[in-house]
Amino acid sequence: MGGFPGFGVWMNQNTQQPLKTGSMRSEDDKSKSVSPKESNNMELYHDSEEEDKQIKLWNVAERRHPWYDPPPKVKVTTKRGICHMNIEFTLGVTPLAAFENLRKPMSLSIDMSARQLLKNKSRKLLKKDGPREIVETENTVAFDFLWWSRAFPIKLIVDENIKDLTAKYKKEKMMFMKVFEGSYKVEPIFVDSERLCKHRLPKTREEYKKCSGGQGKIASKVIMNQYFQPFPPFNLPPFSWYINRITIRTTKTLLQMIQLSTATFRELS
């Protein structure tokens, strides 16, 4: 992912503590600002005026009836030693905002913990071809393995398509992991279609805008597929059991943290 260094490897033993909704970006987070060039690239493929209208719609609606994102659905299978995580979850923001939150997430921490689970270090553009951008991201992740605790770097190569709101990522450097790669895509959810469009079921944003009179909110559905396999001997029991279990549990926690951060965005926009 753009700035999200791999859902599923934040192995922190404090994942059952309350989540912190107001997580702040660190001072050295180089990905927090968007360059004029990158901002213009977004505007080439997305309507900034419509995004502003959606922000206002969400802000008003949040005060009346707060949006609820159910916990992520995670299905896990293992084949030939490689763990596959199929993940689906929703975010109460537009697909573009959801995509931006995934590719450039805030540094994340948990209440009552001085450590940050995720700390953004750098984001470097390697290649640009229209809506497609290939970037190198580097982050540090809090890691607890048995008696050993530290923050270690993760470096990913990410292939993003700003127009289609899709991304593919693969590890360049990651401790313990022999295989770590995946993809995600963001799809629109026309959340007010039944109320505003009555018997019409819009299939496109244009249809939805027309039948809702421009008053229909658009949420996001995120579909992710991630594959990982630890290096030997950590790919063998009992180490693999521990790593897989903590990976899956912490994945859900971090996704919920992103959901909470979008809730804060809706309230403060």
Predicted pLDDT at 115: 59
CB atoms within 10 A of CB 215: 12
Q: What mean pLDDT value characterizes the chain? A: 81
What separation in angstroms does the CA of 35 have from each of 13, 125, 134, 157?
Answer: 36, 11, 16, 20
Higher pLDDT, 58 or 176: 58
Nearest to 141 by CA among 181, 174, 97: 174
In whole angstroms, give the CA distance from residue 116 to residue 151: 9
- DSSP reduced 3-state for 74: strand
In whole angstroms, give the CA distance from residue 134 to residue 130: 11
Beta bridge partners of 184: 167, 224
Higher pLDDT, 37 or 9: 37
The whole-model pTM stands at 0.82
In whole angstroms, give the CA distance from residue 235 to residue 81: 7
Q: How far is CA 123 from the centre of its chain?
A: 15
Predicted pLDDT at 8: 33
Interval 221-268: pLDDT, tens: 999 999 999 899 989 998 888 888 877 877 787 788 889 888 888 887
Q: Do 117 and 139 contact (CB within 8 A), yes or no?
A: no
Q: Do 76 and 99 contact (CB within 8 A), yes or no?
A: no
On the question of pLDDT at 145 being above 70, the answer is no
User: Sheet harboring 108-109: ordered strands across?
Assistant: 73-79, 82-91, 218-230, 177-190, 166-174, 148-161, 132-145, 116-129, 108-109
Query: 35: pLDDT confidence band, cut at 50, 70 and 90?
Result: very low
Interval 105-135: pLDDT, tens: 766 555 445 557 778 889 999 999 999 999 9
CATH 3.40.50.970 applies to domain 36-268: no
C-alpha atoms less than 13 angstroms from C-alpha of 199 in its C-beta half-sphere: 0
Q: Do 186 and 99 contact (CB within 8 A), yes or no?
A: yes
Who contacts 85 (Cβ-Cβ below 8 Å, separation ≥6)?
7, 8, 74, 75, 76, 182, 224, 225, 226, 227, 228, 248, 251
| The one-letter amino acid at 142 | A
Angle formed by the axes of helices 95-103 and 239-268, nearest 10°: 130
